[in-house]
């Protein structure tokens, strides 16, 4: 991922107050997560479904998985355990991991 795309994905979150990042509606959170993942995978968000596999369907590698995790932590001000990467194979899994991490910080 280039520095420019990293900055553009991070810019999505700077417009929200910090307390709103955790208290987003489920729909808003999914949309934001989808934007982050699509930016990192360099795909159009419309190409991604809740269950399309990042590696098999979108050519993601382990480095991109770590980028997704780090971007989510920064965007939502959460701490996500590295072992959660095994569950973050599609958008549904990522949303579940973020929801669980958010519930621990609320």
Residue 99: give its domain's CATH number.
1.10.1200.10
Question: Where does the chain have alpha helices with state H?
Answer: 3-14, 18-22, 26-41, 54-58, 62-76, 91-105
pLDDT for the residue 26:
85
CA 9 – CA 3 distance, rounded (Å): 10
Half-sphere exposure in the Cβ direction for 102 (13 Å, CA): 20
Residue 10 pLDDT more than 70? no
Structural domain count, the chain: 1
Containing structural domain, residue 89: 3-105
> pLDDT of 26-77, one tens digit each?
899 999 999 999 999 999 999 999 999 999 999 999 999 999 999 999 999 9
> pLDDT of 66-92, one tens digit each?
999 999 999 999 999 999 999 999 999
pTM of the model: 0.78
pLDDT for the residue 22:
52
């Amino acid at each position: 991922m280039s520095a420019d795309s990293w900055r553009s994905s991070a810019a999505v979150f700077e417009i929200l107050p910090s307390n709103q990042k955790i208290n987003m509606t489920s729909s808003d959170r999914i949309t934001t997560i989808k934007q982050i993942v699509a930016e990192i995978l360099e795909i159009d968000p419309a190409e991604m479904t809740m269950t399309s596999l990042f590696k098999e369907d979108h050519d993601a590698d382990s480095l991109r998985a770590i980028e997704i995790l780090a971007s989510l932590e920064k965007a939502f001000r959460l701490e996500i355990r590295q072992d959660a990467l095994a569950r973050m194979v599609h958008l549904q899994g990522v949303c579940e991991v973020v929801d669980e991490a958010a519930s621990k910080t609320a």
